[in-house]
Amino acid sequence: MDSLDPSALDAHGSATRPVFRIQASPDPSKAPPAADTPTAPPPASERHKSRDHAGKATPEMDLLAVEEPLEIRLSWVNSAGITEEQSVSITMRTPGQDLELALGFLISEGLLSAPEQLANAEHDDAFCASGQSQNTVRVNLQPGQTPDLERLRRHFYTTSSCGVCGKASLDAVRITLSAAPLSQGPHLSPDQISTLPNLLWQAQGTFQDTGGLHAAGLFRLKSQEPELRVLREDVGRHNAVDKVVGWAFSKGLLPLHNHVLMLSGRASFELIQKAIAAGIPMVAAVGAPSTLAVDLAVSHGLTLLGFVRDGRFNVYSGGGRIEAS
């Protein structure tokens, strides 16, 4: 994938890409199917605030999304029979489904690809510098499984808004992605696609309480109706996707042929990369995609939809999976 020609940018850092704008039928009414949502929602915490009522400040308690650091460590036995361990990432996340997050992250980094490589994943508080519990996950590989040490050099710090930083990281992302083609399906109609945001929103319990979390939902067609298989929420959009991918890995579902990944916000380059690594052929986002996201989707044959809301959406790539109304 070539870099964007700087001359194609305007003064505000924008660039053009071709798009098809599609309008679905008015207000399709669909009942939300059951999803594999967490047994306990992501944690929220109360904090003091002042609310202004007609010029008068009133002290109240506000429910906020929880954000804490998580360190992901990888452990393996080398050729000499000695156990080695290395910190792979520190990410700011909403606690909950930490093991899924760690597994999904390693899959998107190309450090884990098959269940037989994994011995187990566990919380390991021995390396928690803050002294708080449950903030370190150690992923143990099976004996004889050695990670790609070159990829382990991608040792970076991720925040709530950015998961890939630096040229070396971007180069490593391109190397990580498999050349395996995505599935030809699923094929969805505009009416089916237009139901996805509402199905996602109805399952976003902690967002409705706090307004502070991103969500990623995995859908498939069941009896020609979109079915939400799993939803994960997190302060980091990349973490929410990692949790979905880690869930699918733990269920033995990868690659996720004939599935749709629905995002509650924008579609960035990194989220498209994670979808491709998991074999997801279609990504739909409530918000806008970036130029790099579109370019990556085009180069891998992924269907990328943006601004999926209010019964309409834009098709930026892979329009062959959209059925005619």
* Domain ranges within the chain, ordered by starting residue: 68-176, 180-321
Residues 6+ away with beta carbon under 8 Å from 277: 107, 108, 110, 176, 177, 178, 245
Output the pLDDT for position 262. 98
pLDDT tens track for 249-268? 999 999 999 999 999 999 99
128 is catalytic: no
Kindly tell me if the per-residue pLDDT of 160 is higher than 50.
no
Kindly name the residue from 8, 57, 114, 162 that is annotated as catalytic.
162
How much is the average pLDDT of 208-214?
83
pLDDT tens track for 166-181? 444 555 555 566 657 9
**Side-by-side strand order, sheet with 68-77:** 118-123, 136-141, 68-77, 83-93, 156-158
Q: 316: closest CA among 24, 19, 21, 22?
A: 19
Residues 6+ away with beta carbon under 8 Å from 273: 108, 164, 173, 176, 177, 296
Token pair of 46, please?
A: 């109360």
Output the pLDDT for position 168. 47
Confidence of residue 103 (pLDDT cuts 50, 70, 90): very high
Q: 102: closest CA among 239, 263, 255, 271?
A: 239
Kindly tell me if the per-residue pLDDT of 202 is higher than 80.
yes
CA 65 to chain CA mean position, Å: 18
Output the pLDDT for position 271. 96
How much is the average pLDDT of 285-306?
96
pLDDT tens track for 70-86? 999 999 999 899 999 99
Q: Which of 49-63, 220-234, 271-285 has the lowest mean pLDDT?
A: 49-63
Kindly tell me if the per-residue pLDDT of 304 is higher than 50.
yes
Confidence of residue 63 (pLDDT cuts 50, 70, 90): confident
Output the pLDDT for position 58. 77
CATH of 68-176, one of 3.10.20.10, 3.30.930.10, 3.40.1710.10, 3.30.2320.50: 3.10.20.10
Higher pLDDT among residues 126 and 234, named by residue:
234
How much is the average pLDDT of 109-126?
90
How much is the average pLDDT of 278-286?
97
Output the pLDDT for position 244. 98
CA 286/CA 267 separation, integer angstroms: 8
Q: 71: closest CA among 98, 91, 85?
A: 91
Strands 156-158 and 260-263: unpaired
Instruction: Give me the DSSP letters along 8-59.
Output: G--TTS------EEEE--SS---PPPP-B--SSPPPEEEEEEEEEETTEEEE
How much is the average pLDDT of 9-32?
66
pLDDT tens track for 86-99? 999 999 999 999 99
Confidence of residue 7 (pLDDT cuts 50, 70, 90): very low
Which CATH superfamily groups domain 180-321?
Cytidine Deaminase, domain 2 (3.40.140.10)
DSSP at 205: H
Kindly tell me if the per-residue pLDDT of 151 is higher than 80.
no
Kindly tell me if the per-residue pLDDT of 57 is higher than 50.
yes
pLDDT tens track for 41-55? 677 665 555 555 566
Kindly tell me if the per-residue pLDDT of 126 is higher than 70.
no
β-strand partners of 218: 230, 261
Output the pLDDT for position 233. 94
With beta carbons less than 8 A apart as the criterion, state whether 273 and 173 touch: yes
